[in-house]
């Protein structure tokens, strides 16, 4: 007898891991081959947005994720959303705004907010100064679960957690199937569909499917970009970061065990151009824009200090909650001091990539141990023993996020590639002859969305210091989402047609969501009209119809006139 499992009512509010496992494993789920209309590999923000869009259009979707949490940057990587200054009013998709509203609604429904905090329409739970919505990773996990739950309950969406892609079947210019390995049961499943989406953090499907891609920094002669190197440097990639959360309990000792690589990191002085001001484990770092040395103070006991590192990515401000709810604020540590740049994750062997991730984790633990034991305090003392690692908030035994924060991936060789000259304020002023207050980013007639962020490249594995440039609010061109050759594989993360330079402005949270949602709508349109995505872009009538679908879905395709960032 075939067993069926359904979720109703309150089950939709379960955290996603419990919710996904509560679905059980009906007999048909134990089969080694599954089929759907769309297979999405990678459950970050782009993958979730693509799944929501395709499910809204009525198509059957399989969504896989290599960790046990969906959400990528905001959950398994534990990074509060980096967003542009107009995010509360415009410049994102309707569904991304619904996600943001749901985060605030979750706090109002489930957390003991003060009356004042509850009244704030633009509640920022952590009051961190990096984002208008600094919040705990588990809240995003719950919200994304709520958004996806109706489709999973109806068996329109199947979510495979802890599944990693390991192989692909390809015929000519089409992907036929992708094989994923269940990391818990150590078994494989083959997933087939007319269309596939690569929403992985590193563009994992590109090498598996033979899709042409680029890694690292392109040569200036190939892109014409003013800040590109003279020669291509494939292994020159942005730093990764193993994030963690801490609170501060005065009078208690929560010092962790001395990390095995602490001696190395305690004495490590970055060698890069322009030079780093001294040891990595210190309060001194490089200003991203000026590249001059700068010192940011740290003090978890102060309530208000504009430049206090404690408040930079604070995800819980105790003042927002009733007395006794939090023993202190909670800060998410994603700082220059735990950026890891001693080696890349793509273009090297799997064993070497794993070694770099392991060392990045050691760096983050060493930073915490240094803060607890040796870091200079404003009062002349050393160490903050009361800093307490909050492994409960990130869902791991060691207290570090489940997955490194990834800033750069493999990128498709696309029909159209966004380069620095399209979005850089300086380059656009030079190209158009207009002053800064009148210039705009290059317009794209095939726009599928918008985004805004400075060109923000962290120190890289090639020894480059920050590259942080003023940029203009930009559009996302459809051509950047189309591989030059492969017909039915679409990117939905940091693997689109950008360069090493422009990836620095297209890689943040609302843009990844917009890319994923546009790809979901695109796959749905291709299935409906029985035309490949390339034909939709090349046919003016089809393109206009598709862009109208995007607008109907609440996706903005152009900006009002705005200032450079």
| Domains of the chain by residue range | 1-232+410-565, 240-394
Q: What is the pLDDT of residues 271-307, one digit of tens each?
A: 998 899 999 999 999 999 999 999 988 999 987 666 7
* Rg of the chain on CA atoms, in Å: 23
Distances (CA, A) of 513 to 6, 95, 108, 401, 555: 28, 9, 24, 21, 11
Domain 1-232+410-565 has CATH 3.50.50.60: yes
Count CB atoms within 10 A of the CB of residue 341: 25
Beta partners for 547? none
Of 41, 53, 55, nearest in space to 151 by CA: 55
SS3 for 494?
Answer: coil
Give the integer Cα–Cα distance in Å for 102 and 89.
16
Phi and psi at residue 119, in whole multiples of 5°? -75, -15
304 burial (CB, 10 Å; 0-12 / 13-18 / 19+) is: exposed
- Could you tell me which residues come within 8 angstroms of residue 16 by beta carbon, excluding any fewer than 6 positions away? 69, 70, 71, 141, 142, 144, 145, 148, 159
Predicted local distance difference test score (pLDDT) of residue 449: 98
Q: What angle do CA 178, 527, 35 make, to 5 degrees?
A: 35
Six-digit token pair at 464? 């480059």
Predicted local distance difference test score (pLDDT) of residue 24: 39
Give the integer Cα–Cα distance in Å for 541 and 426.
35
Beta partners for 39? 62, 196
Predicted local distance difference test score (pLDDT) of residue 314: 96
- Helix boundaries (H) for 177-242: 205-209, 220-223
Six-digit token pair at 330? 């909670």
CB distance 534 to 70 below 8 Å: no
Give the integer Cα–Cα distance in Å for 327 and 321.
11
- Burial string for 505-519 (b: 16+ CB within 10 Å, else e) reads bbbbbbbbbbbbbbb
- Helix boundaries (H) for 135-282: 137-153, 205-209, 220-223, 262-267
Predicted local distance difference test score (pLDDT) of residue 273: 87
Predicted local distance difference test score (pLDDT) of residue 563: 72
Helices 540-552 and 509-529, packing angle to 10 deg:
130
Average pLDDT over the chain reads 93
Of 167, 384, 339, nearest in space to 238 by CA: 339
Residues of the chain with pLDDT under 50: 1-16, 19, 21-27
Q: Kindly report the pTM of this predicted structure.
A: 0.94
């Amino acid at each position: 007898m075939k067993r069926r499992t359904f979720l109703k009512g309150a089950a939709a509010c379960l955290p996603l891991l419990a919710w996904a496992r509560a679905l059980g494993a009906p007999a048909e789920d134990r089969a080694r081959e599954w089929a759907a209309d769309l297979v999405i590999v990678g459950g970050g923000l782009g993958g979730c947005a693509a799944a929501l869009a395709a499910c809204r259009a009525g198509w059957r979707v399989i969504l896989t994720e290599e960790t046990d949490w969906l959400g990528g940057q905001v959950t398994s990587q534990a990074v509060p959303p980096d967003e542009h200054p107009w995010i509360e009013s415009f410049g994102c998709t309707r569904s991304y705004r619904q996600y943001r509203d749901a985060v605030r609604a979750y706090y109002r429904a489930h957390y003991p907010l003060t009356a004042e905090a509850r009244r704030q329409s633009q509640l920022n739970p952590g009051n961190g100064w990096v984002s208008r919505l600094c919040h705990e990773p588990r809240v995003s996990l719950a919200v994304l679960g709520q958004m996806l739950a109706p489709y999973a309950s109806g068996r329109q969406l199947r979510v495979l957690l802890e599944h990693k892609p390991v192989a692909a079947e390809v015929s000519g210019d089409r992907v036929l199937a992708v094989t994923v390995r269940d990391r818990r049961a150590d078994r494989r499943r083959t997933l087939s569909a007319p269309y596939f989406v690569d929403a992985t953090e590193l563009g994992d499907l590109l090498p598996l499917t033979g899709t042409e891609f680029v890694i690292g920094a392109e040569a200036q002669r190939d892109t014409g970009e003013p800040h590109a190197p003279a020669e291509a440097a494939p292994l020159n990639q942005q730093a990764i970061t193993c994030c963690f959360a801490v609170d501060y309990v005065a009078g208690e000792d929560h010092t962790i065990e001395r990390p095995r690589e602490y001696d190395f990191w305690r004495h490590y002085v970055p060698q890069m151009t322009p030079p780093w001001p001294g040891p990595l484990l210190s309060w001194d770092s490089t200003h991203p824009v000026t590249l001059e040395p700068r010192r940011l103070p740290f003090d978890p006991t102060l309530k208000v200090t504009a430049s206090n590192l404690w408040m930079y990515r604070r995800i819980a401000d105790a003042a927002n909650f009733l007395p006794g709810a939090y023993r202190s604020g909670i800060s998410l540590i994603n700082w220059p001091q735990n950026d890891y740049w001693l080696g890349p994750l793509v273009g090297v062997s799997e064993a070497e990539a794993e070694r770099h991730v392991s060392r990045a984790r050691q760096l983050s633990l060493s930073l915490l141990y240094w803060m607890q034991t040796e870091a200079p305090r404003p009062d002349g003392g050393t160490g903050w023993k009361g800093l307490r690692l909050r492994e409960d908030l990130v869902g791991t035994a060691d207290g570090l996020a489940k997955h490194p924060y990834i800033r750069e991936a493999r990128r498709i060789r696309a029909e159209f590639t966004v380069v620095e000259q399209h979005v850089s304020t300086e380059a656009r002023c030079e190209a158009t002859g207009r002053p800064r207050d009148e210039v705009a980013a290059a317009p794209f007639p095939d726009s599928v969305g918008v985004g805004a962020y400075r060109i923000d490249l962290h120190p890289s594995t090639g020894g480059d210091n920050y590259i942080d440039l003023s940029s203009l609010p930009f559009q996302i061109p459809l051509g950047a989402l189309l591989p030059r050759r492969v017909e039915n594989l679409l990117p939905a993360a940091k693997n689109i047609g950008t360069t090493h330079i422009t990836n620095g402005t297209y890689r943040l949270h609302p843009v990844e969501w917009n890319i994923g949602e546009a790809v979901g709508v695109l796959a749905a349109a291709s299935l409906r009209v029985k035309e490949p995505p390339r034909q939709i872009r090349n046919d003016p009538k089809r393109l206009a119809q598709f862009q109208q679908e995007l607008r109907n879905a609440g996706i903005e395709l152009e900006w009002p006139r705005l200032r450079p960032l």
